[in-house]
Amino acid sequence: MAGSKYAYVRNFELPDPLLPGTFLVCRLDGHSFHRFSDEHGFSKPNDERALRVMDAAAQSVMEEYKDILLSFGESDEFSFLLRKSTQLYNRRHAKILTTLTSYFTSCYVFHWPKHFPDTPLRYPPSFDGRIVQYPSAREVRDYFAWRQVDTHINNLYNTTFWALVQQGGQSTTQAHATLKGTFSKQKHEILFSRFGINYNALPEQFKKGSVLVREIVQGKRDKKDSSRDTMAISLVHCDIIGDAFWDARPHLLVE
Amino acid sequence: MAGSKYAYVRNFELPDPLLPGTFLVCRLDGHSFHRFSDEHGFSKPNDERALRVMDAAAQSVMEEYKDILLSFGESDEFSFLLRKSTQLYNRRHAKILTTLTSYFTSCYVFHWPKHFPDTPLRYPPSFDGRIVQYPSAREVRDYFAWRQVDTHINNLYNTTFWALVQQGGQSTTQAHATLKGTFSKQKHEILFSRFGINYNALPEQFKKGSVLVREIVQGKRDKKDSSRDTMAISLVHCDIIGDAFWDARPHLLVE
Amino acid sequence: MAGSKYAYVRNFELPDPLLPGTFLVCRLDGHSFHRFSDEHGFSKPNDERALRVMDAAAQSVMEEYKDILLSFGESDEFSFLLRKSTQLYNRRHAKILTTLTSYFTSCYVFHWPKHFPDTPLRYPPSFDGRIVQYPSAREVRDYFAWRQVDTHINNLYNTTFWALVQQGGQSTTQAHATLKGTFSKQKHEILFSRFGINYNALPEQFKKGSVLVREIVQGKRDKKDSSRDTMAISLVHCDIIGDAFWDARPHLLVE
Amino acid sequence: MAGSKYAYVRNFELPDPLLPGTFLVCRLDGHSFHRFSDEHGFSKPNDERALRVMDAAAQSVMEEYKDILLSFGESDEFSFLLRKSTQLYNRRHAKILTTLTSYFTSCYVFHWPKHFPDTPLRYPPSFDGRIVQYPSAREVRDYFAWRQVDTHINNLYNTTFWALVQQGGQSTTQAHATLKGTFSKQKHEILFSRFGINYNALPEQFKKGSVLVREIVQGKRDKKDSSRDTMAISLVHCDIIGDAFWDARPHLLVE
């Protein structure tokens, strides 16, 4: 073949298998979303439309890739858990990583108009991604706990910060100064005493992030493979730090 | 901090630097574009609109990432050459790979309506990506030669194949059988004798693929850094196998 | 410093951490030991002196590297298990791998004269090594089972093979032909009926390989750290496929 | 086969090819040689016997591995250059790295008694190793320059330091203090004015390290392959920073 004298360049493509027997977590992060949220007029501290686009993109990814059992999103990031035994693309690192990142990005842009009917995209958003291998269920649970604790901390901060700015008339510099060194309890108090906001009564979506979980539909068999349960993806905004969520869904960490 | 007991999970994120002093080539490939092209009614053997969306996405990527000096596209794939000395994202593998893949994908979906005004996207397309490290200029040249030879082979095949089907009334199975084992010369003859098509007269875009190259604009200095030349991206459809292209642009492979 | 203009070459030394939370198994294999055993007159099928040098080298390695909890040797290979939580050399791959390989090799040559007092080394032997990461205890157990099954298969074959040659007067080619396609049971029969050898009565050392295990010495505290048990290395030739060995030593796989 | 139910553990052995088209440098370093040199009564600042054992081990390694074209040693370290096109062990990282490290170590222990006839080894020495990939000849030259500059700096320091201690009657603490912050010129002066030592007249072996180079033997063809030159390994103690050494041996960096 005419191309054969050049085909040796393929030898520089090195194999990159991920370690078998490990849970894979793929985390995507918005690239320069501070600017992106400004340019597209996102509400502060939380923009429901923006969160819904993220959730919709993640849902599409899970519908396409059955080995993703769970995903968790907050702000401009989303983490996907692939089952320990997944053989997706023979566990090739770059292949899995780029396919998930690309498809999520594509879905984000594709779903955008539905959730932002009056705000056309001004430029194309992008996401970076990484895959982390976790050897055991304990580490997977701690990973998701880590992200949800982060959600909580960020949301409490941002909620108080924007209350100070939007309702309290502080500049953003002043608001940062007001919050510097404060503990959770003090932020709760600022919200309540100054602005009459009961943080605990705010929507779970903001405080807990978005959990998309593949649930077993009891009593139904899979259409294609009757030895399997039917699975369905649920979107919930619940605690994933404690045991309850995981105890109710042992299939997430078994294999 | 409340999250600190979980923060250990970050230790599982391993460093992944690419080797310094190597040229980086990032190649993106459409995922299941056979189906995608069917569903969106792409003309065969080449759809100019589809090629223009690819070119537009690649152009946007090069505008955003200045260390990409050259890119080459054909069909549903595009390859990007990063300068040998690039320090983009400290040469972190996953970061570079996912950012380029994601941004290209995003641009593809973003630019789609301009090029397919009457064909809305039916579902989100995606791309996989890989990065290959090349130690020397020779290998970089051979890489791009390899891709352009591939373009030539595929286009000649597809052009003849679809002539047999669309004009010759053959089924796709028959057309494959007709072409089995034929050499280039025979395909040229089929095209010319049966269908009056002079392959050499077909558009260069189809035969050579798309070359996006960062050119030095003579006599102009960069606005931000007067020690540098102004650069501009050109889209051409020319030979990149021979020496002429490269001899005229020594800056592509120097560093 | 005078060297600083060249020091950039260190940037090509890339980090290579092993994944945290995984058991590490380092396996060493003799390089061209077929020739080495011939040149040094090893007895066939097993040479006790040669096995004792291997065991002695492995014992020295375990005395030096406390995070090795278990090792298993047969013929010219030895496998070492490092505890899951080991922080040896910050889990740097090449550092751990080369240090263990080098020290084992050094000990082998160093201990040689003690076990081969009448056979000086004719040339320097060498070993290659590799590290494999195992996410869970199950895989570690199966790894060692895999090696011990290999010991059994090889030893039964070699015992029968050399009986045919040494006592049966067959050439090596004939002996290979005699054994081709035979099952274990048939080899047992050949040994017993033709040569009066009861395979099961042969030394455990040959049939089971060498197990060096770090045992807890009950009732004694570590001299340096009184919160720890005193540990001691035992050499045994026992089954490590079944549960008994592991159930009696839960400390091997806990952490 | 009986072992097959366990053989899946081999799937955890991941491929580790080095990048084609790169020069490979393997550097070995003595492990805890400060203690080792004390325990074995090495002369200070340089022990010729100890250097000769290192050189002998490196020579043996080069005799065994023909793709090593050059090596450079100083003190307790040695660096080996493998030709860019080497296919040794299919360029598998761990295989090359451990085999060279192991064989060097073995040779060191094996050759020891010849060079230290009156000093038996008290315990087994060991070495760690690493492989670095260099894309171009420039970096290879700078690598070896970096090591030889290091030799020079260390040797000047050590020579002056031990003169202060051995002839000047200073304690080691005092000698360190005396040398703190001094430049080369000042160390030369201390040596000359206080101890009558002309540093430049000291043996090249100490100032330049050991260079083992595979030379082309002019006018002779290889016995096995008459299309090749006969090669021979030379031990020299010369400058490898400047151009002369390399210009005289273009075969080292060509391929």
Q: What is the pLDDT of residues D230-250, one digit of tens each?
A: 899 999 999 999 999 999 999
- Of the CA atoms within 13 Å of residue A33, those in its CB half-sphere come to 16
For residues B10-23, average pLDDT: 98
Give the closest residue to A212 by CA, choosing from A90, A94, A51, A102.
A51
Residue-wise pLDDT tens digits, B226-251: 777 889 999 999 999 999 999 999 99
ipTM value > 0.90: yes
Query: Any binding-site annotation on C115?
Result: no
Residue-wise pLDDT tens digits, C71-82: 999 999 999 999
Residue-wise pLDDT tens digits, D94-112: 999 999 999 999 999 999 9
Where helices occur in chain A by DSSP H, the ranges are 33-39, 48-64, 93-115, 137-166, 172-179, 184-189, 195, 204-208, 243-247, 251-254
> CB–CB of A111/B76 below 8 Å?
no
Residue in chain C closest to A132 (alpha carbons) equals: C19
**Sequence-ordered list of residues with C-beta below 8 angstroms from that of A79, at least 6 positions apart, any chain:** A25, A26, A27, A28, A71, A72, A73, A143, A144, A147
Confidence of residue A71 (pLDDT cuts 50, 70, 90): very high
For residues D38-42, average pLDDT: 98
Confidence of residue B225 (pLDDT cuts 50, 70, 90): confident
Distances (CA, A) of A13 to A20, A60, B71, D220: 21, 30, 18, 40
pLDDT of residue C221 exceeding 80:
no
pLDDT of residue A225 exceeding 90:
no
Query: Any binding-site annotation on A31?
Result: yes
Confidence of residue A161 (pLDDT cuts 50, 70, 90): very high
For the annotated binding site of D for Mg(2+), the residues are 29-30, 76
Q: Give the start-to-end residue ranges of the domains of chain C.
A: 14-152+210-254
Q: Judge whether C11 is closer than 8 Å to chain D, CB to CB.
A: no
Residue with tokens 């280039």: B184
* Average pLDDT across chain C, whole number: 95
Q: Judge whether B221 is closer than 8 Å to chain A, CB to CB.
A: no
Among the partner-chain residues D6, D107, D150, the one whose CB lies closest to the CB of C142 is: D6
Torsion of CA B208, B96, A71, A47, to 10 degrees: -100
Confidence of residue A223 (pLDDT cuts 50, 70, 90): confident
Q: Judge whether C132 is closer than 8 Å to chain A, CB to CB.
A: no
H helix or E strand, kind and range, residue B101:
helix B93-115
* Average pLDDT across chain A, whole number: 95
Query: Any binding-site annotation on A67?
Result: no
pLDDT of residue C59 exceeding 90:
yes
* Chain B partners within 8 Å of C21 (Cβ): 12
Helix (H/G/I), strand (E/B), else coil: C125? coil
pLDDT of residue C161 exceeding 60:
yes
pLDDT of residue A2 exceeding 60:
no
pLDDT of residue B4 exceeding 90:
no
| Cis preceding-peptide flag for A45 (omega within 30 of 0) | yes
pLDDT of residue D3 exceeding 70:
no
Structure tokens at B45: 């053997």
Which CATH superfamily does the domain covering C14-152+210-254 fall into?
A: tRNA(His) guanylyltransferase (Thg1) (3.30.70.3000)
In eight-state DSSP terms, residue C206 is: H
Q: Judge whether B31 is closer than 8 Å to chain A, CB to CB.
A: yes
Helix (H/G/I), strand (E/B), else coil: C22? coil
Residue-wise pLDDT tens digits, B33-51: 999 999 999 999 999 999 9
What pLDDT score was predicted for residue A4? 82
A170: amino acid identity, one letter: Q
* Chain B partners within 8 Å of C11 (Cβ): 20
Residue-wise pLDDT tens digits, A186-196: 999 999 999 99
Query: Any binding-site annotation on C38?
Result: no
pLDDT of residue A109 exceeding 60:
yes
What pLDDT score was predicted for residue D163? 97
CA end-to-end distance (rounded Å), chain B:
45
Q: Judge whether B142 is closer than 8 Å to chain A, CB to CB.
A: yes
For the annotated binding site of D, the residues are 29-34, 75-76
> CB–CB of A232/A214 below 8 Å?
yes
Q: Judge whether B242 is closer than 8 Å to chain C, CB to CB.
A: no
Structure tokens at D252: 């080292």
* Chain D partners within 8 Å of C133 (Cβ): 12
* b/e per residue A19-58 (b: at least 16 CB within 10 A): bbbbbbbbbbbbbebeebbeebebeebbbebbbbbbbbbb
Which CATH class, in words, describes the domain spanning D14-152+204-254?
alpha beta
Confidence of residue C209 (pLDDT cuts 50, 70, 90): very high
* Chain C partners within 8 Å of D133 (Cβ): 12
What pLDDT score was predicted for residue D165? 97
pLDDT of residue A220 exceeding 90:
no
Residue in chain B closest to C14 (alpha carbons) equals: B17
What pLDDT score was predicted for residue B84? 97
For residues C196-224, average pLDDT: 91
CATH architecture type of domain A15-149+203-254: 2-Layer Sandwich (3.30)
* Chain B partners within 8 Å of A8 (Cβ): 142
Q: Judge whether A135 is closer than 8 Å to chain C, CB to CB.
A: yes
pLDDT of residue B3 exceeding 60:
no
Task: For residues D75 and D208, give the distance between their C-alpha atoms in angstroms, rounded to a whole number.
Answer: 11
Give the closest residue to B69 by CA, choosing from B210, B212, B209.
B212
Where helices occur in chain D by DSSP H, the ranges are 33-39, 48-64, 93-115, 137-162, 172-179, 184-189, 195, 204-208, 244-247, 251-254
Confidence of residue A218 (pLDDT cuts 50, 70, 90): confident
* Average pLDDT across chain D, whole number: 95
A17–D14: do the CB atoms touch at under 8 Å?
A: yes
Task: For residues C179 and C171, give the distance between their C-alpha atoms in angstroms, rounded to a whole number.
Answer: 12
pLDDT of residue C163 exceeding 70:
yes
What pLDDT score was predicted for residue B114? 98
For residues A205-213, average pLDDT: 98
**Which of B99-108, B136-145, B207-216, D213-222 has the lowest average pLDDT?**
D213-222
D98–C3: do the CB atoms touch at under 8 Å?
A: no
Confidence of residue A226 (pLDDT cuts 50, 70, 90): confident
Where helices occur in A32-136 by DSSP H, the ranges are 33-39, 48-64, 93-115
* Chain A partners within 8 Å of D15 (Cβ): 14-15, 17
Q: Which residue has the higher pLDDT, A228 or C8?
A: C8
Residues 171-190 of chain A with CB under 8 A from chain B are: 184
pLDDT of residue B1 exceeding 70:
no
For residues A195-212, average pLDDT: 97
Please state, for a pLDDT cut of 90, what percent of chain B lies above it.
Answer: 91
D19–A17: do the CB atoms touch at under 8 Å?
A: no
Where helices occur in C85-125 by DSSP H, the ranges are 93-115
* Average pLDDT across chain B, whole number: 95
- Of the CA atoms within 13 Å of residue C238, those in its CB half-sphere come to 12
Residue in chain B closest to D84 (alpha carbons) equals: B135
Task: For residues C29 and C46, give the distance between their C-alpha atoms in angstroms, rounded to a whole number.
Answer: 17
D19–B135: do the CB atoms touch at under 8 Å?
A: yes
Please state, for a pLDDT cut of 70, what percent of chain C lies above it.
Answer: 99
* Chain A partners within 8 Å of D12 (Cβ): 19-21
Confidence of residue A182 (pLDDT cuts 50, 70, 90): very high
A17–D15: do the CB atoms touch at under 8 Å?
A: yes
Q: Judge whether A60 is closer than 8 Å to chain B, CB to CB.
A: yes
Give the closest residue to C79 by CA, choosing from C32, C145, C16, C18.
C145
Size of interface A-D (CB pairs under 8 A): 17
Size of interface A-B (CB pairs under 8 A): 147
Q: Nearest 5°: phi and psi at C67?
A: -80, 0
In this complex, which chains have at least 3 CB pairs below 8 Å with chain D? Answer: A, B, C
Confidence of residue A222 (pLDDT cuts 50, 70, 90): confident
D102–C139: do the CB atoms touch at under 8 Å?
A: no
